[in-house]
């Protein structure tokens, strides 16, 4: 019997098969997770996942029955995934993915007490993050922004006080200092965040006295309408088609952006602060609305010529991850439907994975030469 915990605990064919597979992997010297979450169709596994510390979730595997389970696994930052019924090969790949997903050193989300400590004697306060937050969360996911903001805090030599979003609170640093740290972090080798975080001055929210109300003012400013007005970039990022590598278009986070090269241009639908709605304008002036989705092609509008998956999936794309299983299914569905699938925000590991899937696949991100 292995020391791997199966949750929720149960007796059944699926559990016994998984235990047998894990014992085989253990005898072969393969790395094993501390926990395997088993989807029973009722969602009980989510409760067990939510009780795990974030680092343990990243080194956990989920055995999934449905796409809904995998979507939740991406949101919960589960490190590895496989479809049920389990096989030796799929479990091995999922366990390797979970082992690689451990990322010690990334700042955890701050408690309220940490926020109070950071602003207790601050004369100035800034927030570093991506706004509007729902839009950029759909593009960037969580892992890469957390890594980036932790790096900015390290360069500034300040406490990594990271709020959900994620947003880094920085006390008593000049804007130029923060910009320099941000730009250095963005320029480092291996940086996988395409869009630089914005910097918002929150000093007015501190008030004249540092009280409980100051904390509420700061949180309201970070998550309120003011932060949604941070500057937008009209930079156009290229999109290429795999496996050939030819450019098919580009996208920008600003609805005001203009095409800068061959192919179509995709920009967010104006006033869509949640993200996921794109206007594609062809070279001939044709227009269509494309919505981020992992739904089967027959559930999408017949007029939608491309299937675009959410950027948070591209950010977590590597063999054996929950995102990889979702994108693989989307690619096969789109191939049968005769439509390309657009996978944004991928790094070099993600490109290597996508090259194993049936095309055509449109792709952008740090792993794609631009």
Which tens digits make up the pLDDT trace of 293-315? 876 666 667 677 888 999 889 98
Report the candidate in 358, 330, 325 with the shortest Cα–Cα distance to residue 343.
Answer: 330
In a domain, 70, yes or no: yes
Cβ atoms < 10 Å from Cβ of 261: 10
Confidence of residue 357 (pLDDT cuts 50, 70, 90): very high
274 and 321 co-located in one domain: yes
Contact 284, 271 (CB under 8 A): no
**Domain identity same for 218 and 250:** no
Any domain includes 105:
no
246 and 266 fall within a common domain = yes
Residues 196, 254, single domain; the answer is no
* Residue 368 within any structural domain of the chain: no
How many domains in the chain? 3
Q: Within this chain, do residues 159 and 260 fall inside the same structural domain, yes or no?
A: no
pLDDT bin (cut points 50, 70, 90) of residue 2 is: low
For 50, counting Cβ atoms within 10 Å of its Cβ (0-12 exposed, 13-18 middle, 19+ buried), the class is exposed
Tell me, yes or no, whether 336 and 252 share the same domain.
Answer: yes
Q: Is residue 370 included in any domain, yes or no?
A: no
Q: How far is CA 245 from CA 43, 164, 200, 333, in A?
A: 40, 36, 38, 21
In a domain, 369, yes or no: no
Asked, for residue 205, whether it belongs to a domain, the answer is yes
Q: Residue range 280-294: average pLDDT?
A: 88
85 and 140 belong to one structural domain: no
225 belongs to a structural domain:
yes
Is residue 254 located within the same domain as residue 341?
A: yes
Range of the domain at 210: 112-229
Do 134 and 56 share a structural domain? no
Contact 221, 131 (CB under 8 A): no
Of 201, 229, 257, which residue constitutes the final position of a domain? 229
Is there a single domain that holds both residue 96 and residue 123?
no
Domain ends where: 195, 229, 263?
229
Query: Within a domain: residue 19?
Result: yes
pLDDT digits (tens, 9 = 90+) for 62-115: 999 999 999 999 989 899 999 999 999 999 999 999 988 765 556 677 888 888
Domain boundary among 42, 69, 100: 100
- Mean pLDDT lowest for which of 41-45, 50-54, 259-263? 259-263
Walk across the sheet containing 80-83 and list its strands.
Answer: 5-7, 35-38, 61-64, 80-83
Q: Do residues 217 and 268 both lie within one domain?
A: no
Tokens of 278: 């794109």
Is 244 in the same domain as 351?
A: yes
Report the predicted TM-score, pTM, of the whole model to 2 decimal places: 0.83
What pLDDT, in 10s, does the model give residues 211-250?
A: 666 788 888 888 775 555 455 677 888 999 998 889 999 9
Q: What are phi and psi of 39, to 5 degrees?
A: -75, 120
């Amino acid at each position: 019997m292995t020391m791997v915990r199966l949750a929720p605990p149960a007796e059944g064919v699926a559990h016994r098969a998984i235990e047998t597979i894990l014992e085989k992997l253990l005898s072969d010297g393969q790395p094993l997770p501390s926990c395997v979450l088993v989807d029973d169709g009722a969602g009980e596994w989510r409760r067990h996942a939510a009780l795990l510390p974030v680092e343990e979730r990243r080194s956990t595997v989920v055995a999934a029955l449905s796409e809904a389970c995998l979507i939740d696994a991406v949101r919960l930052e589960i490190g590895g995934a496989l479809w049920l019924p389990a096989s030796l090969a799929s479990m091995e790949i999922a366990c390797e993915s979970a082992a690689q997903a451990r990322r010690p050193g990334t700042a955890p989300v701050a408690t309220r007490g940490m926020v109070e400590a950071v602003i207790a004697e601050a004369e100035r306060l800034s927030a570093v993050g991506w706004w509007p937050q729902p839009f950029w969360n759909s593009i960037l996911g969580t892992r890469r922004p957390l890594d980036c903001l932790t790096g900015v805090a390290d360069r500034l030599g300040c406490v990594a006080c990271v709020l959900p979003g994620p947003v880094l609170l920085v006390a008593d640093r000049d804007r130029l200092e923060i910009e320099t740290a941000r730009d250095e972090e963005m320029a480092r080798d291996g940086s996988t965040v395409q869009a630089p975080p914005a910097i918002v001055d929150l000093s007015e929210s501190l008030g004249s006295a540092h009280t409980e109300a100051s904390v509420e003012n700061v949180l309201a400013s970070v998550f309120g309408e003011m932060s949604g007005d941070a500057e937008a970039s009209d930079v156009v990022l290229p999109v290429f088609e795999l496996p050939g590598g030819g450019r098919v278009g580009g996208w920008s986070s600003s609805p005001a952006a203009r095409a800068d090269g061959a192919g179509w241009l995709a920009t967010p639908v104006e006033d869509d602060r949640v993200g996921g709605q794109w206007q594609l304008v062809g070279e001939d002036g044709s227009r269509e609305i494309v919505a981020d989705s992992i739904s089967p092609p027959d559930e999408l509008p017949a007029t939608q010529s491309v299937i675009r998956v959410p950027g948070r999936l591209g950010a977590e794309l590597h063999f054996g991850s929950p995102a990889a299983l979702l994108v693989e299914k989307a690619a096969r569905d789109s191939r049968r439907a005769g439509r390309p699938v657009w996978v944004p925000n991928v790094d070099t590991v993600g490109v290597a994975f996508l090259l194993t899937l049936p095309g055509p696949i449109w792709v952008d991100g740090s792993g794609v030469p631009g």
